[in-house]
A and B are shown apart, each in its own frame.
Chain A
Amino acid sequence: MDMSNPAVFVNAEFLKEHVGRKVRTVVQVMQSDGDKVIGKSTDEKELVVKGNPPNALSTFVEVIGIADTIQSIEAEIWTNFGDTFDVNSYDKVCRLANGDSKHLFI
């Protein structure tokens, strides 16, 4: 078992608390360049995701990587989550995972 590298569930709000750590979040792709993606977080704020996005991006993408600033993530893993996604539920889980239920996650 390897507990050394957890990724914290974040939205734009919680990203600020975890700068420098490995995080995971889902963004809605608004704009995509070669080396970065501008996305809308699950709490409706803008986030920048840097790295090597895959060629074909679906509307919603999960990114796992290091939070390098309060508004951007250096992504290592990109996973297409499809074109429909319940942003609300994911956001609620983020809040719980950073709140009362934090001990279940990190």
Chain B
Amino acid sequence: MEGDGGSKLENAMMEEYGDEPHVLAVDDNLIDRKLVERLLKNSSCKVTTAENGLRALEYLGLGDENKATLEDRVSKVNLIITDYCMPGMTGYELLKKIKESSILKEVPVVIMSSENIPTRINKCLEEGAQKFMLKPLKQSDVVELRCNLMKCRS
């Protein structure tokens, strides 16, 4: 992630959301959802999970543009972490939808995958993903992630 400790975005997020960032975790696999939830909670994050891209978009308020209310104008989440391989909408497609949204494009998106495919990784990074992480995730991966993205305090 570019930007050092003085980044305006990070400071704004810290001020508004304090020490418990709200993360939306998207994965079609139940076990992986449980795991990522625990990993994030262990790193003092508030977690919401979604089992596919559509549900994730609905939660984020992008489900139906016409229904968007004033409240939906501000992102509820500080970070979105999504699996790449999902039926229906892939993590890459979800990433694109998020980056196309005026409300959500500033929210960092992390892509996870069990497969280490350089073209896949590059494609995601080029589309604006903050980071690509290889599954299975470990606690140390999430601690590092939290520090990088949320400007870890002590």
* Physical interaction between A and B: no
